[in-house]
Chains A and B, each alone.
Chain A
């Protein structure tokens, strides 16, 4: 008899909340069987400002998803973004204990434990410890078990967040009577959808430019080297346009979607666009140049900030896999050219895997699809299998919060 589990991927986004329902059969295959969406309220820059409003819109989306799937959800995988997320590199180092110099399972476990043991300030909680570089006597190795050496180092990129914000996120889901199985930062979820293993090996940077925030993840040697968040997204473009063009938010948003462009070209210098487009009284001409200037300034700055956050590693040599852009705001014309210019590396738009249905291929679904991917593989920490299952750091968070 096959065993199935119904899981939901939930992204409480700044513009909309998306819920995908997946059925995991025998822990091996997953099919998307339902979906629900609602326009978010009470969320800005990826963070929940108004708990009640955010709960209501999220619950509406979950309800819609359950209805479309025709089944009840067992557990939720939840995306997390926001400026409060931070990360650091840490390393667990141990001396190989066996007399014959072969790395044992317990050596690995000790190194792992040490690598994740750094204490955080009181108001911070860990979300992930992502294993990256493993060194045996200073040499990079993939799988140290049983190899010969004296000293084992296991590196981690550890991501932590503000406890209150993490808790708020979880409580929104709990408020619907559902447990949160795991929390995954958006960048990692999105990255898992749009980057192939080859690119991860070569080195690639994914930017998920959403409505309220931009989540990025840098891959090197096949692992996640760094992640980050800039609380700037499509909302900022809209706001900048509204202020700069002196139009209301609704028209600014419309202009952005219809004729937004990230790089100024010669033709734009003389072109004019209609503010409303209905040619009625009150409509007026807006120079395209003004519009593109405003957008270009913002995106150029955004890319430079990411570059600065990554630091000296952010060079073209380190990024043969290129820059991959996803998220709703990546749809703006010319954004790849601009990214390529700023990063000095190739840039392209990400595409979600072919196997997902047509209506989920859009870049704004990378995150939720990635969540489902993690629900299936269940290995966001990408640990070695040493017997001791290291899953669910969030379990700790969840418990801590429940108690």
Chain B
């Protein structure tokens, strides 16, 4: 079985890979806290759960063990009433408690319903603290229903942008879209439940890869590779199949996953994280089939981290979770795993991740070796020192866990490059154009009318359920 698994960087069949790893799942704001409340945890329960809110009452009713109330002097224990600015202030006022909550963590998940004041304002602050403490930070953020109004959407989008700046990966989940997945007569509450379920499966998949005994476990360093470029678009898809032909069914389900078809998401990824959860009858042949199909569709084998775990309670069932990161729209800096802890000259950093001019990415850009782009630790010699940008974030180097460096021009999404190589139209097999994966109207002005963005499909905004 090793032949086909060589490319995955996965460790095979060892238990206890994730021992000693510190993972925390933090819900921020009302929605985020609710989501954490409802997380169904099985064996990946080694992650600690926490909640942060301005709203004392909401916090009190949550069963989560670790709770932090922020902004007592700002909102006096009440909600921010939708003011993101207050949410940010509240978090900044209690920044030392937040720091305590995230310190020492290897991996922090931030769950948040964007659109409200607390979540939208505080989540970026929490993420920044966690990142500055050296944790890998992955955020799952729901976006409000269109019918909640233009203002909430605006707040949410601003917060999403901020989160992308400070997280290793941000996975946005538009509520409009989640409602599509619910039953015919679903209510808004059902969509929230759906959101919670999806987030739970995403978080659970990553934890399972790290902690659960499986066919293929993934160690933390490998996992981190999947998140080495920050701020780019992500891809998130789930598929599930049961009964005869369960693998094919799961692949079909995955292909129809609505999240994979929104402009919010990339269609192809530069790096993929694929987790497969199966029953006791899941064989390595099944895993190979999934791997082949998924990499063909979403990315390349060489840049895929694969995990496969067995759930004793399952039979003839497989669940596939795909998380991808891209350099598209991001690529401000790259997090470099440091090979040795010995002191060495630190590569330069960018203060706020100075964006690299996308205009450079045209077809004329030099062609690059794809392998090298995805393995930043081989690339050190390419980083040109930029002394004036030095040491803005003292925590990083000191911790010796990771460093960041301004990305040289060399690091461009290969998604674009492949497209430039030949413009044939076997699009299912080639990387799609950047335009397509960034959403067709992405580069155009927002198309606002009465607070709604007309570029977003009407059926989604109106909550019309489309059944395929």
Taking the closest CB of chain A, its distance from the CB of B460, in whole angstroms, is 8
By beta carbon, the residue of chain B nearest A232 is B454
Whether B441 contacts A246 by the Cβ 8 Å rule is: no
Whether B459 contacts A242 by the Cβ 8 Å rule is: no
CB of A98 closer than 8 Å to a CB of B:
no
CB of A293 closer than 8 Å to a CB of B:
yes
Interface size band for A: 20 to 34
Interface members, chain B 419-468 (any A CB < 8 Å): 425, 427-428, 432, 436, 440-441, 443-445, 447, 449-450, 454-455, 457-460, 462, 464, 466-468
CB of B262 closer than 8 Å to a CB of A:
yes
Report if A249-B449 is in contact (Cβ < 8 Å); known contacts: A236-B454, A244-B457, A298-B457.
Answer: no
Other-chain contact of A243, B262, B450, B462, B467 (Cβ < 8 Å): B262
Interface string of B247-275 (1 = CB under 8 A from A): 00000000110101111000000000000
Taking the closest CB of chain B, its distance from the CB of A209, in whole angstroms, is 14
Whether B468 contacts A297 by the Cβ 8 Å rule is: no
Whether A235 contacts B459 by the Cβ 8 Å rule is: no
Interface members, chain B 140-180 (any A CB < 8 Å): none
Stretch of A43-51, A166-174, A187-195 at the chain-chain interface? A43-51
CB of A231 closer than 8 Å to a CB of B:
yes
Q: Contacts of B427 on A, CB cut-off 8 Å? A: 248, 250
Q: Contacts of B450 on A, CB cut-off 8 Å? A: 308
CB of A376 closer than 8 Å to a CB of B:
no
Whether A297 contacts B256 by the Cβ 8 Å rule is: no
Taking the closest CB of chain B, its distance from the CB of A338, in whole angstroms, is 13
How distant is the Cα of A250 from the Cα of B436 in the complex, in angstroms?
11
Taking the closest CB of chain A, its distance from the CB of B137, in whole angstroms, is 29
Q: Contacts of A49 on B, CB cut-off 8 Å? A: 443-444
CB of A225 closer than 8 Å to a CB of B:
no
Taking the closest CB of chain B, its distance from the CB of A232, in whole angstroms, is 5
Taking the closest CB of chain B, its distance from the CB of A298, in whole angstroms, is 4
How distant is the Cα of A248 from the Cα of B431 in the complex, in angstroms?
13
Interface members, chain A 286-332 (any B CB < 8 Å): 286-287, 289-290, 293-294, 297-298, 300-301, 305, 308
The main secondary structure of chain B at its interface with chain A is: loop
Whether B468 contacts A246 by the Cβ 8 Å rule is: yes
Interface string of A39-65 (1 = CB under 8 A from B): 000001101010000000000000000
Whether A244 contacts B441 by the Cβ 8 Å rule is: no
CB of A95 closer than 8 Å to a CB of B:
no
Other-chain contact of A294, B256, B440, B444, B466 (Cβ < 8 Å): B466
The main secondary structure of chain A at its interface with chain B is: helix
Taking the closest CB of chain A, its distance from the CB of B235, in whole angstroms, is 14
Whether A240 contacts B459 by the Cβ 8 Å rule is: yes
Taking the closest CB of chain B, its distance from the CB of A199, in whole angstroms, is 28
Taking the closest CB of chain A, its distance from the CB of B9, in whole angstroms, is 30
Greatest chain B CB density within 10 A among A47, A49, A301 is at: A301
Q: Contacts of B428 on A, CB cut-off 8 Å? A: 248, 282
How distant is the Cα of A250 from the Cα of B427 in the complex, in angstroms?
10
How distant is the Cα of A240 from the Cα of B458 in the complex, in angstroms?
8
Whether B444 contacts A239 by the Cβ 8 Å rule is: no
Taking the closest CB of chain B, its distance from the CB of A320, in whole angstroms, is 28
By beta carbon, the residue of chain A nearest B255 is A246
How distant is the Cα of A286 from the Cα of B447 in the complex, in angstroms?
29
Whether A246 contacts B262 by the Cβ 8 Å rule is: no
CB of A245 closer than 8 Å to a CB of B:
yes
By beta carbon, the residue of chain A nearest B436 is A249
Whether A244 contacts B440 by the Cβ 8 Å rule is: no
Interface members, chain A 209-265 (any B CB < 8 Å): 230-232, 235-236, 239-240, 242-246, 248-250
How distant is the Cα of A244 from the Cα of B457 in the complex, in angstroms?
8
CB of A201 closer than 8 Å to a CB of B:
no
Other-chain contact of A293, B436, B445, B459 (Cβ < 8 Å): B459
How distant is the Cα of A83 from the Cα of B460 in the complex, in angstroms?
22
Q: Contacts of B425 on A, CB cut-off 8 Å? A: 250
Whether B459 contacts A244 by the Cβ 8 Å rule is: yes
How distant is the Cα of A308 from the Cα of B451 in the complex, in angstroms?
14
How distant is the Cα of A239 from the Cα of B440 in the complex, in angstroms?
7
Q: Contacts of B464 on A, CB cut-off 8 Å? A: 293-294, 297
Q: Contacts of A294 on B, CB cut-off 8 Å? A: 457-459, 464, 466
Whether A243 contacts B261 by the Cβ 8 Å rule is: yes
By beta carbon, the residue of chain A nearest B180 is A244
Taking the closest CB of chain A, its distance from the CB of B457, in whole angstroms, is 4
Whether B458 contacts A290 by the Cβ 8 Å rule is: no
Report if A298-B458 is in contact (Cβ < 8 Å); known contacts: A246-B258, A248-B428, A290-B466.
Answer: yes
Q: Contacts of B262 on A, CB cut-off 8 Å? A: 243
Q: Contacts of B458 on A, CB cut-off 8 Å? A: 240, 294, 297-298, 300-301
Taking the closest CB of chain B, its distance from the CB of A230, in whole angstroms, is 7
Report if A231-B457 is in contact (Cβ < 8 Å); known contacts: A290-B466, A290-B468.
Answer: no
Whether B436 contacts A45 by the Cβ 8 Å rule is: no
Q: Contacts of A244 on B, CB cut-off 8 Å? A: 457, 459-460, 466
How distant is the Cα of A236 from the Cα of B444 in the complex, in angstroms?
13
By beta carbon, the residue of chain A nearest B449 is A305
Taking the closest CB of chain A, its distance from the CB of B440, in whole angstroms, is 5
Whether A298 contacts B459 by the Cβ 8 Å rule is: yes
How distant is the Cα of A55 from the Cα of B322 in the complex, in angstroms?
41
Whether B455 contacts A236 by the Cβ 8 Å rule is: yes
How distant is the Cα of A249 from the Cα of B441 in the complex, in angstroms?
13
How distant is the Cα of A230 from the Cα of B458 in the complex, in angstroms?
14
Whether B457 contacts A243 by the Cβ 8 Å rule is: yes
How distant is the Cα of A298 from the Cα of B457 in the complex, in angstroms?
7
How distant is the Cα of A263 from the Cα of B459 in the complex, in angstroms?
14
Taking the closest CB of chain B, its distance from the CB of A52, in whole angstroms, is 11
Q: Contacts of A298 on B, CB cut-off 8 Å? A: 457-459
Q: Contacts of A305 on B, CB cut-off 8 Å? A: 449, 454
Taking the closest CB of chain A, its distance from the CB of B429, in whole angstroms, is 11
How distant is the Cα of A83 from the Cα of B454 in the complex, in angstroms?
12
Taking the closest CB of chain A, its distance from the CB of B438, in whole angstroms, is 12
By beta carbon, the residue of chain A nearest B467 is A290
How distant is the Cα of A293 from the Cα of B457 in the complex, in angstroms?
11
By beta carbon, the residue of chain B nearest A240 is B457
Whether A287 contacts B467 by the Cβ 8 Å rule is: yes
How distant is the Cα of A346 from the Cα of B440 in the complex, in angstroms?
34
How distant is the Cα of A290 from the Cα of B465 in the complex, in angstroms?
9
Q: Contacts of B441 on A, CB cut-off 8 Å? A: 44-45, 239
Whether A287 contacts B468 by the Cβ 8 Å rule is: yes
Whether A47 contacts B457 by the Cβ 8 Å rule is: no
How distant is the Cα of A306 from the Cα of B255 in the complex, in angstroms?
36
Greatest chain A CB density within 10 A among B256, B458, B468 is at: B458
Q: Contacts of A240 on B, CB cut-off 8 Å? A: 457-459
Taking the closest CB of chain A, its distance from the CB of B209, in whole angstroms, is 27
Q: Contacts of A293 on B, CB cut-off 8 Å? A: 459, 464, 466
By beta carbon, the residue of chain B nearest A82 is B445
* 20 pairs of residues in contact across A and B, judged by CB atoms under 8 Å: A230-B454, A240-B459, A243-B460, A244-B459, A244-B460, A244-B466, A246-B256, A246-B260, A246-B261, A248-B427, A248-B436, A250-B427, A286-B468, A290-B466, A294-B459, A294-B466, A298-B459, A301-B458, A301-B462, A305-B454
Given contact pairs A44-B443, A249-B436, A294-B457, a sample of 7 additional A-B residue pairs in the complex whose CB atoms are under 8 Å apart: A236-B457, A244-B459, A250-B427, A294-B466, A297-B464, A298-B458, A298-B459
Closest 10 CB pairs of A and B: A240-B457, A297-B458, A297-B459, A298-B458, A301-B458, A290-B466, A243-B261, A244-B466, A44-B444, A239-B440
